Amino acid sequence: MDINAILQMLHANRFEAASVILFVVGLGGMLFNRSLFKKVVSMGFMDSAIFLFLTSAGYVEGRLAPIIADPAVTATMEVYSHPLPAGLVLTGIVVSVSFTAFGLALTQRLYKKYHSLNIDEIMMQAQKSED
Amino acid sequence: MKTPVWYQKLLRWTEGDSPVLPEPAAHREQTREPAAEESAYESGPGLLSASAGRVRNVLLRVITIASCAVFLLIMLATVAYLPRFGDADNAPENETSRRYIEQGMQEVGATNLVTNIILVYRGFDTYGESCVLFLGATAVIMLLAVDAKNTTEEDRRVLARSDALDRENRNQILGHITTILMPVILLYGLYILCNGHLSPGGGFAGGSILGGALILCENGYGVGKVHSFFGHRIYHVVKVGALILYAVLICYTIYVGANGLPNVIPLGKPGSILSAGIILPINVAVGLEVACTMYAFYTYFGRGDL
Amino acid sequence: MRLFYENYPFFCVFISLLCGILTTLIHDGKKARALTLAMLAVCAVLNGVVCFSTAARGVSFTYSMGAFPAPWGNELRSGPVEALLATVFCLVMGFSLLGGEADLKEDILPEKQNLYYIMMDLLAASLFALCFTNDMFTGYVFIEINTIAACSIVMAKDSGQTIVATIRYLMMSLVGSGVFLFGVSMLYTITGHLLMPSLFPAVTRLFRTGAYQYPLAVLAGMMCVGLAVKSALFPFHTWLPTAHGSATTASSAVLSGVVLKGYIILLIKVMCRVFTPEEIGSLGVGSVLLVLGACAMIYGSIWAVREPHAKRMIAYSSVAQVGYIYLGLGLCTTAGMAAAIFQIIAHAFTKPLLFVSTGGLIDASGHQKKLYYLRGAGRRCPMAGVGFTVGGLSMVGLPLLAGFVTKLVLGRAALAEGIPSWQMILSLTAIAISSLLNAWYYLPAILQIWKGGEAPAGPGGEAYVHGPYEACLSFRIAVVCMSVVVVLLGCFAQPLMELITRGVALL
């Protein structure tokens, strides 16, 4: 593919492209931020990016959300968009909530103990108090 | 070149160096004490001089930036090769989606096709997911529940004082508004919870709303109000009961389905409230569990107890 | 009508989940512990039955979780290898809990003991699910259960250091599972499936037609990297030594013996049941895994040599041992897979044996963790000393012990026909160097614990050791059982290797 075709595809797949960028922002945030709190937030970024990607995989131009309006009419595939990705996103969101809570709980304990959110400083103090 | 003081402060703040919450003075003294002397036998790694450490940090930073950039480029290129967004003939347009859409309602019974998938077709996944939530709550309790290791006498005194203050100066406005809002929120939560098979919603969404109602109750009526009807015992019984009910329903469905036995739970007429077999009871169970978990997150973070 | 034993994998997953949930209501640590051990015993028996039945018939089976089969509903699948690994996991977890009992009572407050066992139960459930799953997304969900449970058993000791170790572990794990889930999502976008039986033909078709070659390579890499981060392959291992080295004994044993392997099993499934090993090799992912595995074998050992801390030394040795597994996988042949699976089993018994015995040695030396203070600990607690010696010698690769067989089968897999010569040379060199380095740090440690004379005193001249040490019964049972298994694996490896080879063909 030449560069023009790639740019065109990126434009067409702009939601996927955005999700990829968000994912890398989250990843970078996790690697660069020294603050534990911001690391937890970056974690949320990464998860949301994946949800955006999955949701856009389920979208089909011009189709309705997969909830049958009238049970009497037989549903056909041409009317509704793909329901599976929505289910996966729901699962992912719940997992992400649990992890955020867990990460924040750890952060709170560390803050209580070391009075800092900076991971380097916390690690230094923990190293010192060892043994 | 000297960087302005405010900039340094800002940097320190964004890096998490300066405290966000005011800390008790006694603690500050304690942590500033010099740590125990290094053992004479210690000759481990980590003896880099300060400048070597700085060089290493910069190098690490550059490497990380470069790898993030490369990763981004690779991923963007991948996106360009993926199927076009929104096309009708993309790969997910296959027999799987077809069956979910065209036969889902007849086979499973809910008009909300996503609910069909998460609670019946892929019910095992979703049970795993509620176990993640259960585990998350357990881990938070393990960390934050008040015990001898994580709470000092000072902490207990501070908490008791703030509780007493809270009891003396009840916020009247918040209390009244809570009284007005509470029935509406509860009704809305229950509606979302029980209509999961007919409209967007279900256990996870409805449960969060109910959990929010509990949190509002705690704030509006004061500490201890929720505890008077929702103590440890009830909390555990409701949470465990909901998860066991869910497990029993899903085990029955799986066992019967996998062994080719007849399923005796009626599906009902699609579109009515009492339909879709196991979906409605599962939604109620999930809702209770989620409400308990949300409330537990709130109170354990705040007070280290229910 | 399906055979009744085919229900057992499903029973195992749900028995352990339900035990975990019910343990919330049991506030007595002792009862919770008994329930967990009973659950592990029952699951070991059930999985053993599945293993023997499938091996005797030479079949594998799929079990639809509900009325809907492959492309629509969740599925479990088991053959001899999956059931064998699940059995091994049950046994190892049981032994680790028995062996770490004394430390568990000391490290965890009585009112929080039951929470620890909840985590253990759900860890077991997630490991069974990872062994048996036939579905990528189920794999993801249970990876997450595994992660929370594993992080929780690290932090259970509740000292500052373990919490720091936990948060680092959590961050790395989340990056790993995020990358893995992204890979799965991409796979869904280009194939439209999540279940392995439907993915396999779809991926094969894509390879034949040459469509989506680039995304396929990227997503295969992402899934491998995601799982490699979680199983601590070389450049991503930084979280492992502190997490495994600072946790309580039972947790360290379970983490390095079992938890790391759960992710590797899922990776093996991805390599065999979504792609084929040859396809993974042709995408270049195999070579990367091979090189990283070889680096891990050497790098982990070098750091272990430099480490004064007994438990952290063993944790670094885990990094090296995980390298052996990835070396086998990176060869992308059936023999390589079989060698990797043998190493999973051998390491699953050897490393917990080492951790549990070291826990005993540390207890016998007045809770001093540095190797220096362990001088003569083997004489104070002979059972722990014997366990450490057997485990250490197995790691070095003494014949008639499990570690030797691993090196042998790995070497044989690397020498097989069709392996490029650079891969062969690299593998053999890595095995040789790593064995030498293993000897370099395990032998002095073994000599140190059997040395006679006065127990070493602290920097201020204070004595840490007060009188002889009496190990409790469950500790002795655990050490004896694991030592016996390590010897048995070394002496009678042939039947097991045959079982594994036949099982890999059924994957």
| Residue C107: pLDDT band with limits 50, 70, 90 | confident
pTM of the model: 0.90
Q: Is B35 helix (H, G, I), strand (E, B) or coil?
A: coil
Q: How far apart are CA B34 and CA B39, in angstroms?
A: 14
C141: nearest CB among B129, B145, B149: B129
Task: Note the pLDDT of residue B113.
Answer: 86
Domain assignment present for C421? yes
Using the beta-carbon criterion (under 8 Å), do B134 and C21 form an inter-chain contact? Answer: yes
Instruction: Name the phi and psi angles at B49, rounded to 5.
Output: -75, 170
More confident residue, C401 or C457: C401
Contacts of C187 in chain A (CB under 8 A): none
Kindly list the residues from chain B whose CB atom is less than 8 angstroms away from the CB atom of residue A37: 16, 20
pLDDT of residue B155: 83
Cβ contact C479:C386 at 8 Å = yes
* Chain C contact probe: residue of B100, B135, B140, B263 with most C CBs at under 10 A: B135
Number of domains in chain C: 1
Task: Dig out the tokens for A64 from the structure.
Answer: 């309705």
The answer to whether residue C74 sits within a structural domain is no
Rounded to 5 degrees, φ, ψ at C60 are -130, 160
What is the tens place of the pLDDT at every residue in C2-47?
A: 888 888 999 999 999 999 999 988 888 889 999 999 999 999 999 9
pLDDT, mean over chain A: 87
A4–chain B Cβ distance below 8 A for any pair: no
Q: What is the C-alpha to C-alpha distance for residues C236 and C224, in angstroms, rounded to an integer?
A: 12
Is there a contact between C161 and C252 (Cβ–Cβ < 8 Å)? no
On whether residue C146 sits in a domain, the answer given is: no
pLDDT at A129: 79
Tokens coding C210: 């040459």
A16 chain-B contacts, CB cut-off 8 A = 79, 82, 85
- The kind and range of the H/E element at B82 are none
* Residue C263, amino acid: Y
C299 part of a folded domain: yes
Q: Does the distance separating the beta carbons of B45 and C65 come in below 8 Å?
A: no
Gap between the Cα atoms of A90 and B208, Å rounded: 13
Pair of tokens at residue C364: 């016998």
Task: Give the confidence band of C449 by pLDDT, cuts at 50, 70, 90.
Answer: confident
Of residues C205, C194, C206, C201, the one with CA closest to residue C70: C194
Tell me if B222 sits within 8 A of B169, measured CB to CB: no
Q: Report yes or no on C358 lying in a domain.
A: yes
- The mean per-residue pLDDT over the stretch A47-68 comes to 88
Copy the structure tokens of residue C328.
Answer: 């086998």
C-alpha to C-alpha distance for C99 and C360, rounded to whole angstroms: 8
Question: At residue C450, does pLDDT exceed 70?
Answer: yes
Instruction: Encode pLDDT of C132-162 as tens digits.
Output: 999 999 999 999 999 999 999 999 888 888 8
Residues spanned by the domain of C345: 284-458+465-507
Q: Which two tokens stand for residue C404?
A: 């030797």
Domain tally, chain A: 1
Residue A89 sits in which domain range? 3-129
Residues of C in contact with A46 (CB under 8 A): 174-175, 178
Contact C1 B260 (CB under 8 A): yes
Q: Which of residues 78-117 of C touch B (CB under 8 A)?
A: 109, 111-112, 115-116
In a domain, C220, yes or no: no
Residue C313 lies in a domain: yes
- Looking at the complex, report in whole angstroms how far the Cα of residue C296 sits from the nearest Cα belonging to chain A: 22
What does the DSSP assignment read for B118-155? IIIITHHHHHHHHHHHHHHHHHHHHHHS--TTT--HHH
The complex scores an ipTM of 0.94
- Looking at residue B49, what is its pLDDT? 59
C370 forms beta bridges with: C309
Residue B12: what pLDDT? 57
* Nearest C-alpha neighbor of C118 from the set B203, B234, B236: B236
Which pLDDT does position C151 carry in this prediction?
A: 93
Computed over every residue of chain C, the mean pLDDT equals 89
Residue of C nearest to A119 (CA): C164
Cα(B211)–Cα(C147) distance, rounded to whole angstroms? Answer: 25
Domain with A96 in it: what CATH number? 1.10.287.3510
Chain B CB within 8 Å of residue C178 CB: no
Three-class SS state of C309? strand
What single string gives the DSSP state of each residue in C311-336?
Answer: HHHHHHHHHHHHHHHHHHHHT-SHHH
What's C285's DSSP letter? H
Tens digits of per-residue pLDDT, C361-378? 888 888 888 888 888 888
For position C464, what pLDDT does the model report? 74
| Tally of CB atoms within 10 A around C35 | 18
Give the three-class secondary structure for C496: helix
Residue C354 confidence (pLDDT) = 92
Could you tell me which residues are beta bridge partners of residue C75? C64
Q: State what percent of residues in chain A have pLDDT above 90.
A: 34
Set of chain C residues whose Cβ sits within 8 Å of the Cβ of B90:
189, 192
Among partner residues A14, A59, A66, which is closest to B101 by beta-carbon distance? A66
Round to whole Å and give the CA distance between C339 and C327.
9
Tell me what pLDDT residue B47 has: 44
Say which amino acid occupies C462.
Answer: E
- Which residues does chain B have within 8 Å of residue A87's beta carbon, measured at their own beta carbons? 114, 117-118, 122
Q: Residue B280 and residue B271: Cα distance in Å, rounded?
A: 12
Interface of C with B in 61-80 (CB under 8 A): 63-68, 71-74
pLDDT given at position B246: 92
Least confident of B28-42, B81-95, C299-313, C321-335: B28-42
Query: Within chain B, which residues score under 70 in pLDDT?
Result: 1-3, 9-50
